Amino acid sequence: MTPEPQSPRTLALALAVLRISLGLFLLLWSLEKFFIPQTTVGIWKGFYLIDIGPSVPYLIGALETVLALAITVGLWRRISYGLGFVLHFVSVAASWKQLIDPWGLVSGGRPNHLFLAGVPVLAGFFTLYLLRDGDLWTLDEARLKSARQAAGT
């Protein structure tokens, strides 16, 4: 039996849920940079080997907040969804040691298998980017619809 194709409405709903959840996920991380900036300083030093200083987390947080909000509402989809994917890819790649040794058996470190949760989130960002044109309940689509109506088409 051949499965029935998804309706455009079902696809739009699924992509809206994915987009909003990924945008809010990223927003949580961006807000952390304002509330506990020292955590961001430690992460950059520990994972990226870069000492960013105490004021940089606020700049990173501001930029990441704009990106998170753009993703959440579906604005500039090609750019925002792509940047969300790249940003999260870098984050997942930086945690490669925790990904290959989630229980600390090889390194002798503390078990921290929660890093593995980043992998399906990365897949979600990738999926959202690939299917961005099917994400119809967005601010981009509303702007396009308004422009078409104004042009009389």
Task: Tokens for 71, please give them.
Answer: 């993703």
Do the domain assignments include residue 86? yes
- pTM score, whole prediction: 0.91
Give the whole-angstrom CA distance, residue 134 versus residue 145.
14
Do the domain assignments include residue 2? no
Handedness of CA 131, 136, 138, 144 (dihedral sign): positive
How many domains does the structure of the chain reveal? 1
Instruction: Provide the domain limits for residue 98.
Output: 10-148
Do the domain assignments include residue 115? yes
Render each residue's pLDDT in the chain as its tens digit; 153 residues. Answer: 666 777 889 999 999 999 999 999 999 999 999 999 999 999 999 999 999 999 999 999 999 999 999 999 999 999 999 999 999 999 999 999 999 999 989 988 888 889 999 999 999 999 999 999 999 999 999 999 999 999 986
Do the domain assignments include residue 3? no
Do the domain assignments include residue 5? no
**Spatial CB neighbours of 100, under 8 Å, sequence gap ≥ 6:** 106
Q: Let me know: does 135 contact 74? Beta carbons within 8 Å.
A: yes
Give the whole-angstrom CA distance, residue 26 versus residue 134.
21
Give the whole-angstrom CA distance, residue 74 versus residue 67.
10
The single residue listed with the structure tokens 């040691």 is 97
